[in-house]
Amino acid sequence: MKNTSGNLSVNMMAILGIAIMFISPIFPGFISVSETRISEPIPVRLATVSVVAFLAIVATTFLTLIFSLYSRRNLLSFLMGITGGLLPVAGFAVAGLSAGRLAEATGPFARVSPSSGLWLAVLAGYVIVFAAMRTLEDNKIMRGLLVLVPVVAITALLLSGLLADLSIMKEFANRRERFFSEFARHMMICAGAVGFGAIIGIPLGVFSNRSARVEKPVFAFVNFIQTVPGVALFGLLVAPLAYLSRAFPVLRQLGIGGIGWAPAMIALVLYSLLPITRNTYASLKAIPADTVEAGVGMGMSKRQVLFRIEIPISLPIVLAGVRTAAIQAVGNTAMAAIIGAGGLGVFIFQGLGQAAMDLVLLGAIPVVLLALFVDGLIQLLIGIVTPRGVLEKTDDKT
């Protein structure tokens, strides 16, 4: 425990999370009910939904508070993190279980959705889990479990069908196949864009490192592209591509036109260039000359210097650039649905067009989760490839 004030061990971060968790059940809207999928949602308190659930959640929050007072002990700190992480999952379970009954009482087309109170519980859960992880800094297993347990619980809840009566799940059920195909398309567009971005961006970074004459225009270009708003870049590409596909029927047969995947892919590749090029450039600058000399002195060949010294040192930094590019691509692909590129953004813009908020969520929530997943995955990869001797900070500012 680092945060001690006097004899009392008060974990202020955990207290903040628990305070938010206490607000959640008494918030005016824990869930909301609307007459149809597009009508005004009416907030419903948790106590109105179910008194038992209300008492159970308040009691568990108290329990979490008690655990937090003894969070100097590893086990109790762990328990605090577990209850804190499971509380929002329990909130979703309550919402799912009561959704059918509430909808029936409202009308034939009524929809039930999570509301501010439940989202607050998610925020509180994050803060509590984070606070617990901080106190368990030297216990990798417990820290892993703190993240794993809520994730497994919410996945199990989703798969169990208990949430089927929630509005967002109804939107999902109505377009199950479309959802999975757009999800796959989203991932393919992102992977393609970042892949091409790496194929072009890494050599650009290497050449920039070799000559200042290349460096200046390359960075002026990629920096400029990065400032251009996504929608504007799509807009600027649509007109010329439409013209080209009219002029050359071959392009049209390939599916390249003013709208669709072609302008989206070009824009996304262009956006991927800056982080990848910049980090490649920086990674090459980060290779200490004496390390290379030491390698040569040990009798390494040029190849060995490249594979045993230069690449291992630069790879984590290049990957950090790929990570920034990939996270950005996940979001920009959602935007690309505006120009008919497909992907999860389709649901966001359809939902906005119909004023059907749960359809918006069906697009937006997976996009956020995908971004978090890609972030975690590449960070894991960076951790694996970072040589033990290199404690370089591969931080990145975009």
Considering only 367, 382, 386, 394, the residue that binds other proteins (CB under 8 A) is 367
**One residue of 371, 382, 386, 394 binding other proteins per CB under 8 A:** 371
Q: Rule CB under 8 A: say whether 197 interacts with other proteins.
A: no
367-387 b/e (C-beta count within 10 Å ≥ 16 → b): beebbeebeeebeeebeeebe
Helices (H) and strands (E) in the chain, counts: 17, 3
Q: Does 259 bind other proteins (CB under 8 A)?
A: yes
Residue 241 touching other proteins (CB under 8 A): no
Residue 372 within binding range of other proteins, rule CB under 8 A = yes
Q: Does 229 bind other proteins (CB under 8 A)?
A: yes
Amino acid letter, 153: A
Q: How far is the CB of 200 from other proteins (least distance, A)?
A: 21
How many angstroms separate the CA atoms of 72 and 82, rounded? 16
- Write out the DSSP string of 130-160: HHHHHHTTT-HHHHHHHHHHHHHHHHHHHHH
Q: Please tell me whether residue 382 adopts helix, strand or coil conformation.
A: helix
Contact status: 147 vs other proteins (CB under 8 A)? no
Asked whether 110 and 35 are in contact (CB, 8 A), the reply is yes
Instruction: Copy the structure tokens of residue 243.
Output: 């013209």
The dihedral sign for the CA sequence 101, 106, 107, 112? negative
Q: Which is nearer to other proteins, 91 or 363 (CB)?
A: 363
How many residues of this chain interact with other proteins, rule: CB under 8 A? Answer: 55
Cα–Cα dist 133/1, whole Å: 11
Taking CB under 8 A as the rule, does residue 338 contact other proteins? yes
Question: Quick one: which segment of 63-71, 172-180, 311-319, 332-340 binds other proteins (CB under 8 A)?
Answer: 332-340
Pick from 296, 286, 297: nearest CA to 387: 286
Does position 233 interact with other proteins (CB under 8 A)? The reply is yes
349 binds other proteins (CB under 8 A): yes
Q: Does 260 bind other proteins (CB under 8 A)?
A: no
**DSSP-derived secondary structure letter, 28:** S
Q: Are 163 and 96 in contact (CB under 8 A)?
A: yes
Determine the Cα–Cα distance for residues 85 and 123; give it in Å rounded to an integer.
Answer: 10
Binding string to other proteins for residues 29 to 68, with x set by CB under 8 A, is what? ------------x---------------------------
Closer to other proteins by CB, 167 or 313: give it.
167
Site of interaction with other proteins (CB under 8 A): 3, 12-13, 16, 41, 113, 116, 127, 130-131, 134, 224, 227-236, 238-239, 242, 258-259, 327, 330-332, 334-335, 338-339, 345, 348-349, 351-352, 355, 357-358, 360-361, 363-365, 367-368, 371-372, 375, 397-398
